[in-house]
C-alpha cells in the first residue's frame, strides 16, 4: 500500500549555493523542494558587507528557474574588521537573516574567518541589541586538537565563554556532530539552537574509512562514532524546538573531491527529503518530520511557516537514486546513503 505524507514546504537553514556556473547548476535542486534557505557567505571573496550580500542575492535570483518559489535568506561572513553599523543596517533593511562565524581555517573558504573572539565583541554586542542571530561553525582549529575532538573542545573553550560574555545573543550551532553538542544545546534555553544535517544522521566515521576512503562522505565537521550519530538521530526526531534542519549541502565538482587532498562537503540537496523520511520512519517518528524540516527553524528565525505543501510518497520497491548532476563547472556527485530508499517527493 502506498503511503503519502503531506508536509509544509521545508526550509533549509544551512545551504551552500556557491557562485557562477556552480550556483546555476545546484540552485534548482534546492528550489525544487525547499521554500527558503539560509545561504552561506563563504565565497571567494566572502560576503562580508551589505553591498556584497545585495550583489550575491541578485545573482541568486537571476539563476532561479522560471516560476520557482524560493526565497534566499542572506548571511554575512564575520571578520575581525566587520563594521557593526553595516551589519545593523543590513538587518534593519531585511537584507540579512544572520551573521556567520567561521573560525579561521575550519572549513571551505574560511581562511578569512575569526582568530581572536575579542576582536568581534563589538559586532556581537550590536547583534544582541538588534536580535540578529549568530550562526557558527563550532570547531577549534588548533593543530594539537584531534580532528574528532574539535567540536567538543570548541564547546568548552569558545562557546561557553561566548555565552557568558554575550548572554542575550541568539546563537545557532550549525551542523552539530556529537552527543556533547546535543546536550549543550539542550541546556541553554531558547536563545540557542542547532542545525543537524541529513548526512550526519546517516554517517558515522566507519562509513568514511572502513574498506577504503570514500571522498564523497568526507565533510567538516567530520562524521563521528556511531554513538554520536545515534544522539543526533534522537535529537532530530525528538520534536524539541532547539533542533532543526540545516543540510549543509555543499557541492564540489568531482575532480576536487576525488584527489589526494579532496574538498570537504556532501551534496544532499537533491535527495534530502527522501532520506529524512527514511530516517524518521525508522524511528517511528514520521509525525515529527514536518516540525524538524518546516516549523522549528522558521520559528527560531521568527518567520511564518510556509503555506505551500509538498507530498512525500513511500513506494514498496526501492527507487533509483541520482548519481550526479552536471553543471557547467563540472559533474557533482549526489550523496549516496548506502541503503535502499523507498521515499520520494511527488513531482
Spatial distance between the Cα atoms of 10 and 35, rounded to a whole number of angstroms: 6
Nearest 5°: the CA angle 13, 273, 231 is 70
pLDDT value, residue 347:
87
Spatial distance between the Cα atoms of 83 and 71, rounded to a whole number of angstroms: 26
Spatial distance between the Cα atoms of 28 and 68, rounded to a whole number of angstroms: 8
Nearest 5°: the CA angle 257, 262, 263 is 80
Give the range of the structural domain holding residue 159, as residue numbers without chain letter.
Answer: 3-345
β-bridge mates for residue 183, sequence order: none
Catalytic residue chosen out of the listed positions 83, 248, 287, 323: 248
Spatial distance between the Cα atoms of 202 and 198, rounded to a whole number of angstroms: 7
**Active site annotation includes 248:** yes
pLDDT value, residue 289:
98
Grid coordinates given for 153: 573542545
Count: domains in the chain: 1
Grid coordinates given for 125: 554586542
CATH of the domain at 236: 3.20.20.140
Please give the radius of gyration of the chain, using alpha carbons only, rounded to the nearest integer.
19
Spatial distance between the Cα atoms of 229 and 202, rounded to a whole number of angstroms: 7
Collapsed DSSP state (helix, strand, coil) of residue 173: strand
Q: Is the peptide bond before 221 cis (omega within 30 degrees of 0)?
A: yes
How far are the Cα atoms of 277, 279, 281, 292 from residue 287, in angstroms, in the given order?
Answer: 10, 12, 9, 10
| Tens place of pLDDT per residue across the chain (347 aa) | 679 999 999 999 999 999 999 999 999 999 999 999 999 999 999 999 999 999 999 999 999 999 999 999 999 999 999 999 999 999 999 999 999 999 876 676 567 778 899 999 999 999 999 999 999 999 999 999 999 999 999 999 999 999 999 999 999 999 999 999 999 999 999 999 999 999 999 999 999 999 999 999 999 999 999 999 999 999 999 999 999 999 999 999 999 999 999 999 999 999 999 999 999 999 999 999 999 999 999 999 999 999 999 999 999 999 998 899 999 999 999 999 999 999 999 98
> Integer distance in angstroms from the first to the last C-alpha of the chain?
19
pLDDT value, residue 106:
65
Amino acid at each position: 500500500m502506498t503511503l503519502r505524507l503531506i508536509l509544509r514546504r521545508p526550509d533549509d537553514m544551512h545551504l551552500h549555493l556557491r557562485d557562477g556556473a556552480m550556483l546555476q547548476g545546484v540552485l534548482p535542486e534546492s528550489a525544487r523542494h525547499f521554500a527558503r534557505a539560509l545561504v552561506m557567505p563563504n565565497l571567494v571573496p566572502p560576503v562580508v558587507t551589505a553591498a556584497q550580500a545585495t550583489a550575491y542575492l541578485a545573482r541568486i535570483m537571476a539563476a532561479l528557474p522560471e516560476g520557482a518559489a524560493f526565497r534566499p535568506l542572506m548571511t554575512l561572513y564575520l571578520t575581525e574588521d566587520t563594521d557593526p553599523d553595516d551589519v545593523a543596517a543590513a538587518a534593519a533593511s531585511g537584507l540579512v537573516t544572520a551573521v556567520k562565524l567561521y573560525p579561521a581555517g575550519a572549513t571551505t573558504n574560511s581562511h578569512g574567518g575569526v582568530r581572536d573572539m575579542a576582536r568581534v565583541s563589538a559586532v556581537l554586542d550590536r547583534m544582541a541589541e538588534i536580535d540578529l542571530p549568530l550562526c557558527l561553525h563550532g570547531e577549534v582549529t588548533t593543530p594539537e586538537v584531534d580532528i574528532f575532538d574539535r567540536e567538543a573542545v570548541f564547546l568548552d573553550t569558545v562557546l561557553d565563554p561566548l555565552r557568558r560574555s554575550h548572554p542575550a545573543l541568539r546563537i545557532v550551532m550549525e551542523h552539530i556532530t556529537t552527543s556533547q553538542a546535543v546536550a549543550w544545546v539542550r541546556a541553554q534555553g531558547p536563545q540557542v539552537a542547532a542545525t543537524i544535517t541529513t548526512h550526519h544522521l546517516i554517517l558515522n566515521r566507519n562509513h568514511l574509512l572502513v574498506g577504503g576512503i570514500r571522498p564523497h562522505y568526507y565533510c567538516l565537521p567530520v562524521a563521528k562514532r556511531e554513538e554520536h550519530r545515534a544522539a543526533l538521530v534522537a535529537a532530530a526526531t525528538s520534536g524539541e524546538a532547539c533542533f532543526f534542519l540545516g543540510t549543509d549541502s555543499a557541492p564540489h565538482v568531482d575532480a576536487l573531491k576525488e584527489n589526494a587532498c579532496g574538498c570537504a562537503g556532501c551534496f544532499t540537496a537533491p535527495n534530502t527529503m527522501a532520506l529524512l523520511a527514511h530516517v524518521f520512519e525508522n524511528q517511528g517518528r514520521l509525525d515529527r518530520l514536518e516540525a524538524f524540516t518546516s516549523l522549528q527553524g522558521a520559528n527560531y528565525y521568527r518567520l511564518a511557516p510556509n503555506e505551500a505543501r509538498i507530498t512525500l510518497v513511500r513506494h514498496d520497491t526501492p527507487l533509483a537514486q541520482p548519481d550526479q548532476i552536471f553543471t557547467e563547472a563540472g559533474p557533482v556527485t549526489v550523496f549516496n546513503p548506502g541503503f535502499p530508499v523507498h521515499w520520494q517527493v511527488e513531482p
